[in-house]
Amino acid sequence: MALIEFSDKGLYCPIGNFFIDPWKPVDNAVITHAHSDHARWGSKNYLCHTQTKPLLQLRLGNNNYQTVDWNESVYINQVKVSLHPAGHIIGSSQIRVEYNGEVWVVSGDYKLENDGISGEFEPVKCHTFITESTFGLPIYKWKPQQEIFQQIQQWILNNQSQNKCSVLIAYSLGKAQRVLQAVTKVTDNIWVHGAIYNTYETLINAGWQLPLLKRVTPETTKEALHNAVVIAPPSADGTPWMKKFYTYSVGVCSGWMQVRGNARRRNVDAGFVLSDHADWNGLLQAVKATEANKVFVTHGFQSAFARHLNEHGIEAAEVKTAFGDEEDVQENNSGSTNE
Amino acid sequence: MKAFANLINQLNSSTKTSDKLKALSDYFAVATDKDKVWVIALFSGRRPKRAVTATQLKTWCMESINMQPWLFEECYNTVGDLAETIALLLSNQHNSSQNFPLHHYIETLISIEKESEAVKKNYILQSWQQLTQDEIFVFNKLITGGFRIGVSQKLMVNALAKTTQLSSSVITHRISGQWNAANTSFHHLLSEEANSIDASKPYPFYLAYALDGALKDLGNENEWQAEWKWDGIRGQIIKRSNELFVWSRGEELMTDKFPEYQIFSNLLHNGTVLDGEIICLQLNTGNTFKPLPFALLQTRIGRKNISKKELSNSPVGFIAYDVLEYDGEDIRNKPLTERRYLLEQIIQAVHHPSLQLSPLIHFNNWHELAQQQQNARAFDAEGIMLKRKNSVYQVGRKTGDWWKWKVAPLTIDAVMIYAQKGHGRRSNLYTDYTFAVKDGDKLVPFTKAYSGLTDKEFAQVDAFVKKNALEKFGPVRTVKPELVFEIAFEGIAASNRHKSGVALRFPRILRWRQDKKADEINTLEDLKQLLEQYGK
Ligand SMILES: [Zn+2]
Ligand SMILES: [Zn+2]
C-alpha cells in the first residue's frame, strides 16, 4: 500500500485515514493553504497551520480546526505529520508524512523566493515528493521581487505625474498583501476592493502589522481616488466597478504576464511578472533539494515537467488532480480562480 | 536597439490608437534618421531579405541552452511566437546590453546573408549574448518578421505627419513604391519640399448598404442598373501627370503589387480615375473572362515581391464599374448613365484584356432579377449590385441609390472534433477548431474554421474543450463530439488532399447551434451533393 494514494477525492493517506487538500467533503482534511482550490468546504476536521486558520474561518466559516506550527509533529493514526513553510502565501505549508521510516512530502503551492510575508520555503528531504508545476516550462523565469517592485513603483509614480489613478490587479489572498509592501514605499493613499478588505481585516485581527488601507465603497468619491493606488482582485477587472476611477491605468501582477499575448489579451496597460509559484528553475531546485527518488507532478504543466525530470534521471510521473491540470491553470489566467 | 525595443513594448502593450500614435511620434521625434528610415521600412512591410531561417534560429537556440526539441515545442505552443519563445528561453538576466543602434543590427543581418552558416550562427549567438530579453525579442523579429503590434501604415503615416509637417497623403505616396532603406536617407524620403499637387490622391469610395427591403420597394425597374458583385478588392486606378497609381478601398497605395496594370499607364489618358474591382482573372478567347478565387489574390497581396510564377498563376485584372475623373475633370456629380457611357468609351479605347468593363445584367422585371441573383454563384459572383441610373457618385456609405444584394452563403451543420489554441491574442484559448460531418456512424473531418464566435462564446467553447479533451496530439486536443456549429462557406471544390474529398472556400462559423445535438448534423452525402451542385 502506498503511503499516499491518488483518489477521486484527492490525495489520501490510507494508513492515517486523512486527505490532503481534498476536493470533496471527508472526515479528516490536512490543508496546505487557504486558496479556494486547495481548501474546500464540508469536511469534518481540518488540520492546518496556525496562520491559515483565520483565513479558513473567513472562507469556510466555523469548523473543527486543529492548528500546528511549522516543524511541529502530530500523529494521525500512527502516521507522523508535520508542516513546513512553502513560501506561497501567508500560512502556506508543505505537508510531510512519515510512517515506518518512509517519508512523503506534498508541496501544495510554493515558491522559493522569500517574499517577506509568507515564510521562507524549506527544502524537506523525502523519498517521494508530490510537486505542483503551475509554471513548469522553461519560458517561466522570474526576476527578483525587488526588481518587479521597482517596476511597480515606477509605474505608480508615472501615473501620478499624469494625474492617473493606479489600479493594481492582484489576487486577494497572497499577491495583494505582497504588493502592498511595494506600494507603501511610494504612497499612503491606498484603497482596496471589498474582497481584499475582508482578507485585510482578518489578517489585522490575527495580529498582522499591515499599513492602513481604505475600502472602496459606493460612497467613495472620484476625487478621493485621484492619484491613488487601488488594489483589486482579477474578478473586478473590466467590470462597472472600475468606472469609479475615471482616469486610471491598469497593472496586472501575475506570472502569466511573462507571455506578451496574455498581457495583450487582458487589455492591460502594464503587466508585472510577479508570481506566488515557483518558476522553472525554482521547481527543479526544489525537486533536487528533496533528494526524492520518486516525484509525482500535479497542477500545471505536469506532463512536460515530469518528462523533463525523467530525461534527467529523476523518476517522475504526472498525476491529474482537481487542483492540478494545465486547463485549470489556464482558467487561472483569466482570473476565475486563485492563482 | 533599446529605444526600438521600448517602442515595440509600448506598441505591444497599449490598446488605444492614441497611445500608439504617441509612442510612434515620440520615437520619430528622437530617433536617428537612419533608424527612422528602417522603422518606416519595417512597418510598411519592407523587411530585409531573411538572412537566417526560422529553423536555424530554433536549432541554435536549442543547442545553446541544451534543450530537447519536444520541450522547445511545448514552449513554442504555449507562447505562440517563435521570436518570443527564444527570447524567453535565453532570457539573459543582465539588464543592460552592448547597445548598437537599430540600423547596425539590420545592416549586419543584411551583410551576412550570403555568408556561410557558421558566420551567421556566430553572429546570432553573439548578439543573443549581448542583448537583453526585450531586445532579443525584437532582434529575432527583425529576422522572422511580423511585429504583431497593430500598427497600420495609416497610423505610422499619421505619426510621421506629426513630426515632419507633411500631409498624410503626401507621406503615404512618398513611402509607397520601390525604395530600399539601406540606401535611402530620411531627408530624401520625407523632408523634400512637397508643394506639387499630390497627383496620386484618390476619391473617397462610394459604398453600398446591403439590400434590406423587398425589390418592389425600389420602385420602377427601369430606373435601375444591375451588375454582378465581384469578389476581389475594390480599388481606384488613377492616371495623372504621366504616372499610374492604384489605391485600395483601405486607402492603401498598391501600385507596385500589380505590375499587370503598368500597361495602363500608356493606354489611359492623363486625368482619368476608374473605380472597379481588383481581381484575379482568367482571360478566355473572345475577350471573355472568368474571375478566379479571392484566395489567389490574397497570396499576391501578402507578398512584397511577386515572382514570375505568381504572375502567371494568379494574373490580376481590373473590372471597371465607374469613372470618377475624365479628362482631368471630376465628374462624380454626373448621373451614372452618363458616367457609364464615358466608361465604355474608355475601355474600348484601351482595348486591353486586363481592363474589363463590368457587364450589366439584363432584366425585364424584378422577378427576373431575383432569379439571376440566385444564379450569382454560377457566374463566380457574390451577388448583385443595384445602382439607380441617375445616381451621382457619393462619398462613403450612403443609403438610397446603391444597394448590394449578396447570395446567402452555403451552410452545413457540423460537430467540433479537434481544438487547438489560437496564436497571438488568443494564445491561451482553444479557438481553432476542426469540424466533422457524419458518414454512417463515423465522423469525417472536412474543414477548419476560425472566426465567427463572440469572445464570450469562445470562452465557453474553450472551457468545454478543457473539460472534454480526450487525447493530445502535440497542441491538438481531440474533444468529445458534442458541440454543433453551423459552418458557412462561399464555395466548394473537389480535393484529394482532404479526407472528405472536398475543400471549402471561406469557411467560417456562422453560429453555435446549441439547440442541436451531434446526431442531427449533416452527412458526408450532403456535402457531396453541394459539391455536385456548386463544385463546377
Ligand atoms: Zn495557491
Ligand atoms: Zn493551487
pLDDT average, residue stretch B367-388: 90
Whether the model clears a pTM of 0.80, i.e. scores above it, the answer is: no
pLDDT of residue B146: 72
Distance CA B354, CA B338 (A): 23
Using pLDDT thresholds of 50, 70 and 90, give the confidence band for residue A335.
Answer: very low
CB pairs under 8 A between A and B: 80
3-state helix, strand, coil in chain B (%, to 5): 40, 25, 35
- Contact predicate A197/A190, CB 8 Å: no
Q: Look at A179-188, A299-308, B458-467, B490-499 and tell me which has the smallest mean pLDDT.
A: B490-499
From CA B508, how far away is CA B489, in angstroms rounded?
Answer: 6
Backbone angles phi, psi at A241, to 5 degrees: -55, -35
Find the range with the poorest average confidence among A139-143, B5-9, B373-377, B453-457. B453-457
Bridge partners of residue B360, in order along the sequence: B227
Sign of the CA dihedral with A308 first, then A313, A317, and A323 last: negative
pLDDT value, residue B534: 72
- Give the mutation candidate from B18, B61, B78 for the A interface (greatest A CB count, under 10 A): B78
CB B486, CB B511: distance < 8 Å: yes
pLDDT surpassing 50 at residue A325: no
Q: How far apart are CA A219 and CA A242, in angstroms?
A: 14
> Cell 509614480, residue?
A157
Could B78 and A137 be called an inter-chain contact, meaning their C-beta atoms sit closer than 8 Å? yes
SS3 of residue B107 by DSSP: helix
Arithmetic mean of pLDDT, B268-287 = 91
Q: What is the pLDDT of residues A229-286, one digit of tens each?
A: 999 998 887 778 887 777 888 999 999 899 887 777 677 788 999 999 999 999 999 9
Q: CA distances (Å), B485 to each of B204, B401, B524, in order?
A: 39, 37, 15
Q: In chain A, what residues touch B80 (CB-CB under 8 Å)?
A: 259, 261
Q: In whole angstroms, what is the distance from residue A298 CA to residue A107 CA? A: 10
Of B65, B84, B467, the CB nearest to A260: B84
Residue in the block written with cell 474578478: A235
Give A266 or B345, the one with higher predicted confidence.
B345
Asked whether B433 and B416 are in contact (CB, 8 A), the reply is yes
Task: Output the pLDDT for position B336.
Answer: 97
pLDDT tens profile A126-178: 999 999 999 999 999 999 999 999 999 999 999 999 888 999 999 989 999 99
Domain A145-272 sits in CATH at: 3.40.50.10710
Q: What integer pLDDT is reported at residue A324 of this predicted model?
A: 39
The full length of chain B comes to 536
pLDDT of residue B150: 67
Of B12, B68, B459, the CB nearest to A260: B12
Question: Does B12 contact chain A (CB < 8 Å)?
Answer: yes
> Do B404 and B398 touch, CB atoms closer than 8 A?
no
Instruction: Provide the CA A43 distance to its chain's centre, in angstroms.
Output: 21
| ipTM, interface predicted TM-score of the complex | 0.92
Average pLDDT over residues B421-432: 72
Q: Which of A151, A264, A284 to mutate to test the interface with B (most CBs of B within 10 A)?
A: A264
Q: Residue A279 and residue A286: Cα distance in Å, rounded?
A: 10
Strands B469-473, B476-479: pairing is antiparallel
| Paired sense of beta strands A294-300 and A128-133, if any | parallel
At B14, the pLDDT band (50, 70, 90 cuts) reads confident
The single-letter code of the amino acid at B450 is Y
Q: Are B467 and B409 in contact (CB under 8 A)?
A: no
CB A81 within 8 A of CB A46: no
> CA A216 → CA A59, A159, A191, A221, distances in Å?
21, 19, 6, 9
Domain boundaries, chain A: 5-139+276-325, 145-272
Domains present along chain B, CATH in parentheses:
2-144 (1.10.3260.10), 206-406 (3.30.470.30), 410-534 (2.40.50.140)
In the structure, what pLDDT confidence band is assigned to residue A338 with cuts at 50, 70 and 90? very low
pLDDT for position B211: 87
DSSP state of A337: S
Pick the more confident residue, B325 or B533: B325
pLDDT at A176: 94
- HEC sequence for B293-314: CHHHHHHHHCCCCCCHHHHHHC
Instruction: Name which of B8, B82, B425, B477 to mutate to probe chain A: the one with the most chain A Cβ atoms within 10 A of its Cβ.
Output: B425
Kindly state the percentage of chain B with pLDDT values over 70.
Answer: 93
Which pLDDT value is given to residue B494? Answer: 81
**Alpha helix (H) residue ranges in chain A:** 53-60, 145-161, 175-183, 194-205, 260-265, 280-290, 302-311, 326-334
Chain B residues in contact with A265 by the CB 8 A cut-off are: 425-429
Q: Report chain A's mean pLDDT, rounded to a whole number.
A: 90
DSSP letter (8 states) at residue B164: H
What is the four-CA torsion angle of A106, A110, A113, A114, rounded to 10 degrees? -90
Query: Minimum mean pLDDT among A75-89, A312-326, B98-112, B276-290: which range?
Result: A312-326
pLDDT value of residue B251:
67
Grid coordinates standing for A184?
507603501
Are B81 and A260 a contacting pair at CB < 8 A? yes
Q: Which of B259-273, B288-302, B470-484 has the least mean pLDDT? A: B288-302
CA–CA distance, A150 with A257 (Å, rounded to integer)? 16
Contact residues on chain B for A333, CB-CB shorter than 8 A: 428
Kindly give the distance from the C-alpha atom of residue A274 to the centroid of ligand 1, in angstroms, as a whole number.
14
Quick one: average pLDDT of B167-175?
73
Would you state the CATH architecture of domain A5-139+276-325? 4-Layer Sandwich (3.60)
- The average pLDDT across A175-194 equals 94
Give the contacts of B390 (CB within 8 A, at least 6 positions apart): B223, B335, B336, B337
**Nearest CB partner across the interface for B71, out of A264, A304, A334:** A304
Helices vs strands, H then E, count in chain B: 19, 22
Q: Which residue of A has its CA nearest to B65?
A: A138
Q: Please tell me the distance in Å from A266's CA to the nearest CA on chain B.
A: 9
Asked if the C-beta of A7 comes within 8 angstroms of chain B's C-beta atoms, the answer is no
Q: Which grid cell is B333?
A: 456629380
Beta bridge partners of residue B356, listed in sequence order: B319
3-state secondary structure of B344: helix
d(CA B416, CA B437): 9
Backbone angles phi, psi at A72, to 5 degrees: -100, 130
Between CA B348 and CA B354, with CA B352 as vertex, the angle to 5 degrees is 120
A251 alpha carbon – ligand 2 mean position (Å)? 22
For residue A330, what pLDDT is reported? Answer: 31
Of A261, A307, A308, the CB nearest to B80: A261
- Report residue B159: phi and psi, to 5°: -65, -40
Between the alpha carbon of residue B475 and those of residues B433, B435, B478, the distances in Å are: 12, 17, 10
Cell of B57: 534560429
The separation between CA B59 and the C-alpha centre of its own chain, rounded to angstroms, equals 31
Among the residue ranges A73-87, B81-95, B318-332, the one predicted with the least confidence is B81-95
All three cell numbers of A322, joined, read 482537481
* Residues of B with Cβ-Cβ distance to A260 under 8 angstroms: 12, 81, 84
Q: How many CB atoms lie under 10 A from the CB of residue A214?
A: 15
Say if the Cβ atoms of B466 and A268 lie within 8 Å: no
Q: Strand locations in B60-126, DSSP E? A: none
- Among A322, A329, A275, A336, CA closest to A305: A329
The mean of the pLDDT values for chain B is 86
Residues ≥6 apart with Cβ < 8 Å to A271: A251, A252, A254, A257, A262, A263, B13
Q: What is the mean pLDDT of residues A57-79?
A: 95
B279 three-state secondary structure: strand
Residue B424: which region, alpha, beta or left (left: phi > 0; alpha: psi -120 to 50)?
left
Interface contact flag, A270 B13, Cβ < 8 Å = yes
